[in-house]
Every structure is written in C-alpha cells, then in structure tokens.
C-alpha cells in the first residue's frame, strides 16, 4: 500500500517536472522567434482583435455584476457598523488587485485558450502543421508567437476595462441603494487606489496571458488520437490554465505583499 502511494507520488512529481520542462522549452522557442525578423503584424492584429474586442462584452458583463455583488455583500456588514462610506474603497481595491485580473484571465482562458488548443490541435490532426514544416515554416513562429503576443498585450487592456466597469457596477448599488452620493463615491475610489494597486493587477495579467498562450498552444501542438484527442486536449488546456492562473495569482500576491509591506 505504502509502495503504491510512493510510486504514484513519484509519477505525479515526474509528470509535473516533465510538463514544466516542456512549457519552458516552448517559451524559449517563442522568445527566440519573437525577435527574429520579419514579424507578421497581420497575424498579431488578427489574434489581438479576437482576444480584445472579441472578449470585451463577456468580460465587462461579468465585471459589472461582480462589482454589484461586492457592493451588496459588503453592505451587510458595513451597514451594521455604520461604515458604508468605505464600500467604494473595498470595491476599487479588490477589483483592481485581485478580482478583475483573475476573473478576466479565467474568462479568456475558457474562451480563447480553449479555441487556441482546438485550432492548433485540429491542424496537427489534419497534418497542416506537418505541411508547414514541409514548406520550411516553423510552427512556433507561424502559429504560436502571434497568439502568445496578442494574449500578453490584450489581457491587461481587457482587465483595465473590467476594473472600470466593475467599479461602475458598484457605483450603481451604492448610489441607488445605499444613498452614497456620486461625488463621494468617486472621491473615495480615487483616494483608495494607489500606484502599487494598479501595478500589481496589471503585472499579474501579463503573466496570466503568457500562461494561457503557453498552455493552449502546448496542448494543441501535442494532440494525439484524432478528433477525440482534440477534445481531450482542449478540456485539459482549460483545466490546467485555470489551475496555473490561481497558483500564480497566489504566488504574486505573496510576493507583492512582502515586497510592498517589507
């Protein structure tokens, strides 16, 4: 029994390091081709349009409702303490530092990350990737780099809009339900946010975008088993992206906490 548990643990650890190593190799290839001329700006803008404007509505809609939910939930406690004036502070800081970056990344991972895996996986299954290699075109340069760069650039932009919309959602509750004036709400939001809050949130999103692109492209390039394999890899890409986003969010929260509070 103990031997079986040890063997299972060893297998899990080995699998983790193998997966981490393969992601590191893919990242090194992306980094190399990212600075190798010529760069296809057309493919970059095409992918950026899909990531940014294509995901704007759903990311903003969720951020709006999240901002309203925070305001309503905070009202329970704050009204008992007669401290409802501090609700705008909580909304602004929580959205900017944590909720907007993480929720936007999860939305993009489920929408764009899954699509990337399915697209590249289908190309692998139908031997289109082999055709690219036959024409001396590197798949990482042609398929992965534009997606990687577009996610890294557009996810912070989406997060900025999500923060704005989420704070506006909190304003709707505070203004119409809690009686906080418009001037007071936006004054409290402005006073509560500092540069480190904005830097913390946006820095996270850059790495979240890299994670989504790396995992999605890696799973797509390593699809096996035909159409069934594409479906399994797509599901695996979303699950692994979610787990890594939460893990890195926790890591960055620890780092920024000790960095700014040392």
Which candidate, 175, 115, 122, places its Cα nearest to that of 147?
115
- Return all residues near 29 (Cβ < 8 A) that are at least 6 apart: 140, 144
CA distance 172 to 71: 9
pLDDT of residue 260: 66
Q: Show pLDDT as tens, one digit a residue, over the chain (262 residues).
A: 667 677 677 777 787 788 888 888 888 888 888 887 677 788 888 888 888 888 899 999 999 999 999 998 888 887 777 777 888 898 999 999 999 999 999 999 999 999 999 999 988 888 888 888 888 788 888 888 999 999 999 999 999 999 999 999 999 998 888 888 888 989 999 988 888 888 889 999 999 999 999 999 999 988 887 778 888 889 999 999 999 999 999 998 888 877 766 5
Residue from 68, 92, 70 nearest 176 by CA: 68
The pTM assigned to this predicted structure is: 0.90
How many C-beta atoms surround the C-beta of residue 50 within 10 A? 18
Per-residue burial over 154-183, b if 16 or more Cβ lie within 10 Å, else e, is bbbbbbbbbbbbbbbbbbebbeeebebeee
Q: How many C-beta atoms lie closer than 10 Å to residue 46's C-beta?
A: 13
Are 162 and 97 in contact by the 8 Å Cβ rule? The answer is no
pLDDT of 7 reads 66
CB 211 within 8 A of CB 245: yes
Q: What are the sequence ranges of the domains in the chain?
A: 1-32, 42-260
What is the model's pLDDT at position 37?
A: 65
Tell me what pLDDT residue 258 has.
77
Contact of 207 with 248, CB cutoff 8 Å: yes
């Amino acid at each position: 029994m103990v031997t079986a548990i040890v063997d299972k643990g060893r297998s899990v650890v080995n699998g983790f390091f193998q997966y981490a190593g393969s992601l590191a190799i893919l990242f090194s290839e992306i980094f190399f081709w990212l600075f190798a001329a010529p760069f296809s700006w057309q493919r970059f803008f095409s992918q950026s349009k899909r990531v940014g404007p294509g995901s704007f509505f759903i990311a903003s809609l969720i951020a709006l409702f999240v901002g309203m939910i925070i305001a309503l939930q905070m009202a329970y406690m704050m009204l008992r303490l007669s401290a409802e004036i501090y609700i705008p502070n909580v909304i602004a800081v929580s959205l900017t530092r944590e909720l907007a970056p993480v929720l936007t990344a999860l939305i993009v991972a489920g929408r764009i990350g899954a699509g990337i895996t399915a697209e590249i996986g289908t190309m692998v299954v139908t031997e289109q990737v082999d055709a690219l290699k036959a024409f001396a075109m590197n798949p990482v340069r042609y398929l992965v780099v534009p997606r990687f760069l577009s996610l890294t650039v557009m996810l912070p932009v989406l997060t900025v809009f999500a923060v704005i919309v989420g704070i506006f959602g909190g304003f709707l509750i505070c203004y119409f339900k809690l009686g906080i004036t418009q001037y007071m709400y936006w004054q409290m939001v402005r006073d509560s946010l500092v540069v480190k809050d904005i830097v913390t949130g946006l820095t996270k999103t850059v790495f979240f975008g890299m994670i989504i692109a790396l995992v999605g492209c890696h799973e797509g390039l390593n699809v096996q088993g035909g159409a069934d394999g594409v479906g399994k890899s797509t599901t695996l890409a979303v699950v692994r992206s979610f787990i890594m986003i939460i893990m890195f969010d926790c890591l960055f929260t620890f780092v920024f906490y000790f960095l700014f509070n040392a």
